[in-house]
Copies of this chain bind each other. A is one copy, B any other.
Amino acid sequence: MDELRIAVVGVGRMGLTHAENLAHRVRQARLVAVTTSSAERADAVRRCCGAVPMYDDLDQLIASEALDAVIIASSTSAHVENVERCAAAGLHILCEKPLGLTLEECDRAVNVVDSVGVKLMMGHTRRFDAGYQEAKRLIESGAIGRPVLYRSISGDVDPPPPAFADLGVSGGLILDSMYHDIYLGRWLMNDEIIRVYGEGDALIDNDVGSVGDVDNAVVSARFAGGAMGSLTASRTTRYGHDLRTEVIGDEGAVQVGRLRKTPVRLLDRSGVHHDAVFTTPERMGDAFGTMLQSFVDCLVDNIEPPVSSQDGLATLAVAIAARHSIQTGAPVEIAEKR
């Protein structure tokens, strides 16, 4: 296999990043085409990736281009349908998280994928960040003993437009953002979450509240092995894009987090000051490219991707339970075995 031929479905913020990485950074892969029906996004693709065929419609793209794989970065509400179409066409898939909005539709999509036999990797970016990878390595090395506490926060500077926050579109704060902290918890603790309790509300932003979403939330989690977790998500950390995760074991702890943007301090009579990252690319850096390369390498070597559809389903199950707990005010148990 010389160079994998890959298309990107949806070129919003994430899709454009994937397209650009495919065009310039990823080895043994080529950006073949994208789907978009927006002239403005088409321009953006041209600026970042050069001349690339663009299609209004996924079916049209599939019909017109010879492809090995696709990256699905459309709206979450369209993920499952797109996964099913691409799988039916025999294409390997990297799908942005979450896989879908309900476990039922996700199960359906995974059945199609499994029956066709293509590979489906979930786009859990943080796993490919050098910081989280080093944390995982340290935990696996035994440096902190037995993991006992998991604490994590994800903060965005400003709320998204309500059209995105909509539970029927992105799944809302818990499915879209705390999803990452749930996945990191499962991965770093090497354990499953079996119970959650959440508090959440639209305290600041009436717009996200008007579409049923919350802007801030805290979730308590219990792991099957006994460990405990505290997860926080915020759409209003005005001071920066604040991603911090820590695992405390019975012999030590690891902390991952970086808010500073440039390595510069200003010192004056009013104190000591430094800047902060405000966007995901500023904070995550190479992780997107590393993730794509990993996907491509797995296809080239014909091995299972590091983030499976089951990882996606298990993470989504916890996220849905947490959102349900926030809505009902009661703890929610999660079936250990799906």
Interface string of A209-241 (1 = CB under 8 A from B): 000000011111110001111101010111110
Does A118 sit at the interface, judged by CB under 8 A? no
**Chain A 230-285 interface residues, beta-carbon cutoff 8 Å to B:** 230, 232, 234, 236-240, 248, 250-276
Whether A248 contacts B24 by the Cβ 8 Å rule is: no
- What is the CA–CA distance of A250 and B156 in the complex, to the nearest angstrom? 12
Whether A271 contacts B273 by the Cβ 8 Å rule is: yes
- Segment with Cβ contacts to B, from A30-38, A93-101, A147-155: A147-155
Does A171 sit at the interface, judged by CB under 8 A? no
- What is the CA–CA distance of A46 and B251 in the complex, to the nearest angstrom? 37
Does A146 sit at the interface, judged by CB under 8 A? yes
Whether A264 contacts B271 by the Cβ 8 Å rule is: no
Partner of A237, one of B219, B227, B253: B253
Partner of A263, one of B222, B256, B262: B256
CB within 8 Å for A230 and B218 given contacts A146-B204, A266-B143, A275-B271: yes
Can you list 23 A-B contacts (CB < 8 A)?
A130-B261, A134-B264, A144-B268, A146-B203, A148-B204, A148-B236, A151-B153, A151-B232, A199-B228, A200-B228, A203-B226, A203-B250, A218-B228, A218-B229, A230-B232, A239-B252, A239-B267, A239-B268, A251-B268, A252-B269, A271-B276, A272-B275, A331-B331
**Chain A residues near B (Cβ < 8 Å):** 24-25, 130-131, 134-135, 138, 143-146, 148-149, 151, 153, 155, 195, 197-201, 203-204, 216-222, 226-230, 232, 234, 236-240, 248, 250-276, 329-331
